[in-house]
Structure 1
Amino acid sequence: MDQSQPRPPQRTVEVVADRDALTYVACELVTAAANLAIGLRGVFTIALAGGSTPRPLYAALARDPDIDWKRWRIFWSDERCVPPDHPDSNYGMVHQVLLSQPGVKPQLVMRMAGELEPEVAAANYEAIVRELVPAAYDQVTGDRPRFDLILLGMGADGHTASLFPHTPALAEQERLVVANPVPALQTTRLTFTFPLINAARRILVLVSGADKAQALHDVLVGPHRPDALPAQAIHPVAGQVTWLVDEAAFHLIEEDMAE
């Protein structure tokens, strides 16, 4: 990966009090992005994240009576190599708290097939994304599909999606979805790559908890080391990224600012 400092992204960092506030604001941001996309293009294409942080958001979206679900097209930014009914499945978690709820009937739900051989599953999903998510065909994003919103999280090790430190997918420049070996976890994950992530119109990164504070500090204000801190490579080339974080995750940066 190129270690040179990239141009600054269109980045906003929004700090909220706690996880409940994070869920509330995230819900507002997601629905606003949906309304804008539907108004401009008639549909809303979103890629969801797994993990515990966005789970309350999905539950909140399920309770929102004003969402026009029939215009939503739902994808996933990463997945474990497990069947959809496995407890570790990102799709399974979203299905439980969102998709199975009354009235939630999106136009399209396209999961990653974690039960298939990983390379086959990744290739199949890339083909699906290219077919179903329109590209802008401009000089900046080229023929890469442009999601209206990609929802991401960040781990305490600085990973995002299933782009973990020092893994092969970090260097990928052409493929949009790959099977990424993660030796530290003794597994392989399916994941969007940065060429696809950074082509999105909007990226929303949710970070909650004191256990993420050091990584958030290093990602946002530390030296540029994307091989060690993959979330540093979130740089939309023609869009916006919002880091929505709670006070517990932000406190080390806040202490630096106060010095």
Structure 2
Amino acid sequence: MTAEDGRAGATPELIVHRDAQVLAQAVAARLVTKLVDVLAARDEAHLALTGGSVGIGSLAAVAELPARVAVDWRRVHLWWSDERFLPERDPERNVTQAREALLDKLDLDPAFVHAMPSTDGPDGNDAKAAAERYAAELARFAAPDSDVPEFDVELFGMGPDGHVASLFPEHPGVYEEEPSVIPVHNSPKPPPDRLSFTFRTIRSAREAWIVAAGSEKAAAAHMALSGGGRVQVPAAGARGNVRTLWLIDRACAADLPPGLNRLASP
């Protein structure tokens, strides 16, 4: 597979919801249902979380959902596909926002919450060492023939430029396949230093969900779902090996061409 090829993995399926609020509620309901099903079949689940307004909004919607009590959260491993390389508890960190939106309201096993390292962690400001540390943590929970878990779901937001995780258009990270986690420097969106899954790690997911809302993201959605390559529009490369699900609102879907694999909204 070349870095230009955004088409490996499951063909995207598309569900369009009325607006950002309904979208967040729908993602929350879908996520709870998915985790209940996974935990009925296996002892543990692996979920990779994302940041961004819709991603964190979806977590807040889970917190408001009565059905969330049906999930045995102590059996859910929580990971992050990327993180802003900042001090622990910085309000800009994805994990900080996730804790405030949902995690602090759940009965979690602390050993199952795998936050990415911070700048005041054991590696200090060495982003490369921090990425290697997180890669080693992923490998601890991988099958013998892999170095990353097979995630049940990876959630991704998408920026107006089409970035997912901290993989930005034309940026060096979109060309990386090894290792499983990379440092990102000179990010076009602040802060400049980040940690991110590579596309190889993204493709380890059974299901990848891309969640996006707003007219400012319509052009990127059009590119990603019309055959664009992952170098120009990284969201095109976010694919699960069983299912790739785009969950977006009407504003984000405004420029999409006909003939896409659209599913009916619930």
Bigger relative contact order (CA 8 A; separation at least 6): 2
Structure 1 or 2: more helix by fraction: 1
- Structure 2 Cα separation of the partners of residues 86 and 25 of structure 1: 29
CA deviation after TM superposition for structure 1 residue 65, in Å:
2.6
1:111 match: 115
Query: Secondary structure of the equivalent of 2:35?
Result: helix
CA deviation after TM superposition for structure 1 residue 6, in Å:
3.7
Contact 1:159–1:165 (Cα < 8 Å) also in 2: yes
What are the residue-to-residue correspondences of 1:64-143 with 2, within 5 Å?
64-101=68-105, 103-106=106-109, 108-115=112-119, 116=124, 117-132=126-141, 134-135=142-143, 137=145
Query: Secondary structure of the equivalent of 1:252?
Result: coil
Contact 1:167–1:181 (Cα < 8 Å) also in 2: no
Match of 1:210 among 205, 211, 215: 215
Runs of 4+ in 1 over 6 A off after TM superposition: none
Considering only aligned residues, what root-mean-square deviation do their CA atoms show, in Å? 2.0
CA deviation after TM superposition for structure 1 residue 136, in Å:
7.4
**AA partner of residue 247 (structure 2):** L
Q: CA 1:60–1:166 in structure 2 vs 1: closer, same or farther (change >3 Å)? A: same
- Structure 2 Cα separation of the partners of residues 13 and 27 of structure 1: 17
1:57 match: 58
1:45 match: 46
1:146 match: 150
CA deviation after TM superposition for structure 1 residue 235, in Å:
2.9
- Structure 2 Cα separation of the partners of residues 89 and 2 of structure 1: 28
CA deviation after TM superposition for structure 1 residue 8, in Å:
6.6
- Structure 2 Cα separation of the partners of residues 62 and 161 of structure 1: 23
- Structure 2 Cα separation of the partners of residues 7 and 83 of structure 1: 36
Gaps of 5+ in 1: none
CA deviation after TM superposition for structure 1 residue 183, in Å:
4.6
Q: Are 1:245 and 2:248 matched, yes or no? A: yes
**AA partner of residue 193 (structure 2):** T
Query: Secondary structure of the equivalent of 1:184?
Result: coil
- Structure 2 Cα separation of the partners of residues 43 and 5 of structure 1: 30
Query: Alpha-carbon deviations, 1:147-196, whole Å to 9, x = none?
Result: 11111011000100000111222111221100012353461210011101
Query: What is the TM-score normalised by the length of structure 2?
Result: 0.86
Contact 2:128–2:183 (Cα < 8 Å) also in 1: yes
Q: Report the count of equivalent residues.
A: 248
1:32 match: 33
Query: Alpha-carbon deviations, 1:43-88, whole Å to 9, x = none?
Result: 1110100111112211122233322111111111100010121121
Q: CA 1:183–1:98 in structure 2 vs 1: closer, same or farther (change >3 Å)? A: closer
